[in-house]
Amino acid sequence: MRSGRSARARGGLWLVVAACAIAAGCGRGGGVFAREYEYEEELYLALDGSATLDVNASVASLVALRGAPFDPDPRARVDRTAVRTFFGAPAARVAAVGLARRDGRRFVHARVQVDRVRDLASLGAFAWSSYRLDRRGDVLEFRQTVGAPAGAGERAIRWRGDEIVAFRLHLPSAIVFHNSPSGVIQRGNILEWDQPLSDRLAGAPVDIRVELQPTSILANTLLLFGATIAAAAATLAGVVWWISRRR
């Protein structure tokens, strides 16, 4: 009997642990029920106008959306050199290329760096977008408009119908305004624009607009810290002067 109760207790404990793990995963937006994307662009923008763009995408989506010269057959091999060539250009540096499988399908990762964010539009892989970063009074205004795809479209590939495309911005300074549909600034100063793959294939535009402060969060933090230290030092000096005067 005692061993039976111990087994039931251990079973109950494992259930609690599993439930906590799942809840924790859901709470941070990842874990067991994390949303999976067919195509993702993650743009890391710097205040000097330079940028790093990470792409995580299925081979099929690159063929359908960007006209990539790859075989969309999940059994086909993907050549890293071909991936690097597809994302490369004289105005860009392909810093990393990776290959992976998910649910038996091929996925590609590429990291592209440019000195000017607007130069991304000159790359074939990102020519569906226009990019602008301009100073408007006291703020920097970033705008990206994603236009029609340039690939073979949905006729060449069978889709489930629930695939999602995402465009994310990782921003270096405080956000003054944005038009992200969720209205949420994610931890890490990240904004996201999602779109069903079917809409992306149909050419429905994505309008990305953000206004941000022209100084970085780190610079503002250091400035505030320095001002606090200076104020504390001034207060201490005032106290010392007052005490010396009383003597």
For residue 128, give the nearest of 215, 68, 74 by alpha carbon: 68
pLDDT value at position 19? 39
Q: Between the ranges 16-20, 152-156, 241-245, where is the mean pLDDT highest?
A: 241-245
Residue 84 CB contacts under 8 Å (≥ 6 apart), including other chains: 94, 97, 110
Does the pLDDT at position 232 exceed 80? no
What would the mean pLDDT of 15-42 be, rounded to a whole number?
58
Does the pLDDT at position 134 exceed 80? yes
Percent share of the chain, pLDDT over 70:
72
What would the mean pLDDT of 123-139 be, rounded to a whole number?
96
Which range has the worst mean pLDDT, 82-91, 127-136, 198-207, 238-247?
Answer: 238-247
Q: What is the DSSP letter of 13?
A: H
Q: Which residue has the tokens 């250091």?
A: 222
pTM: 0.75
pLDDT value at position 35? 85
Q: How far is Cα 215 from Cα 135, in angstroms, rounded to an integer?
A: 12
| 95-103 own/partner pairs: CB under 8 Å, 24+ apart | 95/52, 102/36, 102/58
Does the pLDDT at position 66 exceed 90? yes
pLDDT class for 158, splitting at 50, 70, 90?
Answer: confident
Q: How far is Cα 174 from Cα 29, in angstroms, rounded to an integer?
A: 22
More confidently predicted of 220 and 246: 246
Bridge-based pairing of strands 39-45 and 164-170 is: parallel
Which range has the worst mean pLDDT, 5-9, 98-102, 128-132, 220-224?
Answer: 220-224
Q: Quickly count: other Cβ atoms within 10 Å of residue 152's Cβ.
A: 17
pLDDT class for 39, splitting at 50, 70, 90?
Answer: very high
